[in-house]
């Protein structure tokens, strides 16, 4: 899968061990409490059959990634990050669209995620796809006690169609 985004091409593939070093760098640049190398290695090892780790590459180098789980039609997006050098170019939007497509293929119906209450940019992205606040997890983030919004999509099929229509019109 490839897409043209102003002056860059992104290829989305399953994350492999060779991607971990670059992914960890993006992880540390993106999050206050980054995941460990072990978490990523276990995630791609097949230890968790419901877990899916995708990486977006530009010229063969990881610039973004998204992780999600699909269990009995319920999908949980656990992580999405883009290298600082490639932010504000539509990379996160593309990664989210590709992961939603993958979730549909895997039988996903509902999708949810947690996002920091202060992460306005991420909330805006998710709203574009039809995610809505379902609940609040008080003091969810252990690093500073910040609340998390639980965002969700009730019907991934419907939302994906709406997004496709919006994209073709705009």
Structural domains in the chain, sorted by start:
2-169 (3.40.630.30)
Contact of 133 with 151, CB cutoff 8 Å: yes
- What is the arithmetic mean of pLDDT over 1-14? 74
Rounded (10°) angle between helices 91-105 and 156-169: 140
- What is the arithmetic mean of pLDDT over 89-94? 92
- What is the arithmetic mean of pLDDT over 6-20? 90
What's the confidence (pLDDT) of residue 33?
Answer: 87
Which residues form the catalytic set? 114, 126
- CA 30 vs CA 11, 58, 107, 159: distances in Å: 21, 18, 30, 27
């Amino acid at each position: 899968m490839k897409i043209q985004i102003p002056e860059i091409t992104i290829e989305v593939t399953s994350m492999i061990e060779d991607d971990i070093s670059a992914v960890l760098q993006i992880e540390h640049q993106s999050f206050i409490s980054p995941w460990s190398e072990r978490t990523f290695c276990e995630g791609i090892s097949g230890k968790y059959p419901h877990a899916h780790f995708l990486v977006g590459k530009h010229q063969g180098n990881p610039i973004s990634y998204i992780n999600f789980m699909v269990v009995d039609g319920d999908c949980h997006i656990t992580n999405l990050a883009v290298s600082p050098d490639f932010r504000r170019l539509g990379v996160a939007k593309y990664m989210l669209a590709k992961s939603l497509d993958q979730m549909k293929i895997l039988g996903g119906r509902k999708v949810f995620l947690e996002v920091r209450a202060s992460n306005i940019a991420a909330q805006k992205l998710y709203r574009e796809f039809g995610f809505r606040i379902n609940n609040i997890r008080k003091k969810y983030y252990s690093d500073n006690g910040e609340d998390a919004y639980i965002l969700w999509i009730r019907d991934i099929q419907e939302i994906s169609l709406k997004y496709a229509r919006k994209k073709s019109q705009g």
